[in-house]
Structure 1
């Protein structure tokens, strides 16, 4: 359940189709993953953690969308996008709407740990994101395994552990559909 990035359009799931989404599994040199902290715009207590990313806009590819969204949401631009790790269909309520999404998760690594920390937000957030993104944090796999906070996708700790132990899958893994 992550906040939508672009304003409502034909790709947002409201126009009868699935919203195409590109997400980034961004790892630093210590194998920590960057997650954004989001919440319902009018209820900060209804919160969760999620990977950077958002909807494909216009004629851009998913790869272009992933890099654009990462830059907009975090200010991080010095990354090379790797393979698609996972694909997930999801449907969730957010900001008074139902969002139906086809999400692709791309691997990316940084050579350093950018100063993105809790309480900060990306430099180019949409108005909706400004009302619903509370900050960002680097998480270890162990911290993800032990947290009682909501994280999307729900199995992220196990997926990250397998990625770190075995490397990227030969083909994107299809994750369970998540309907909230």
Structure 2
């Protein structure tokens, strides 16, 4: 029986809101299961010596081209622990979500690494209503409620 590699990691993620109260999501897939797609916030795993907020800022710059300072993010608005398969590995990930409102800007994916270039297929700004009404898979599942909560802060 083949053993599965387990990867434990912590991630910083950003609930990025535009002036119209829409949240930016990427659509991607597992390279081992390209037919299964889902939408998710910008963000990713911490690098050595990096805090969650710093990782969120770095990932935001790499994945969208938007440069902000760590203090622009404030405190985490949500955290969760998820386990999922990706590229044949079991990822056990503790996510920390930070909220940020931004002006209009052109999303640039020029900073994607090779895996992101292969597995990220789209990006889109979603309203709370669209999140609540979609049949598509959204991570985290309670993102519509999180966004609605951030909008009243």
TM-score by length of 1: 0.76
Contact 1:13 1:101 (C-alpha < 8 Å) held by counterparts: no
- 2: CA distance, partners of 1:97 / 1:131: 17
Q: Which runs of 5+ in 1 are unaligned?
A: 1-11, 168-180
Contact 1:40 1:94 (C-alpha < 8 Å) held by counterparts: yes
- 2: CA distance, partners of 1:52 / 1:13: 23
Q: Which runs of 5+ in 2 are unaligned?
A: none
- 1:8 is aligned to none
Residues 1:152 and 1:163: Cα distance change in structure 2 (over 3 Å):
same
Report deviation, 1:27.
0.6
Query: In the TM superposition, what are the counterparts of 1:79-90 in structure 2 within 5 Å?
Result: 80-90=72-82
- 1:143 is aligned to 130
- 1:35 is aligned to 25
Higher helix share: 2
Contact 2:23 2:126 (C-alpha < 8 Å) held by counterparts: yes
Task: Summarize deviations over 1:10-59 as a string: whole Å, max 9, x none.
Answer: xx952xxx301000011111111000111122543210000000000011
Equivalent of residue 158 in structure 1, options 138, 145, 148: 145
TM-score by length of 2: 0.88
- 1:97 is aligned to 89
- 1: CA distance, partners of 2:116 / 2:129: 28
- 1: CA distance, partners of 2:13 / 2:6: 17
Other structure's SS at 1:125 match:
coil
- 2: CA distance, partners of 1:82 / 1:29: 18
RMSD over equivalenced CA pairs, Å = 1.7
Other structure's SS at 1:124 match:
coil
Contact 1:13 1:19 (C-alpha < 8 Å) held by counterparts: no
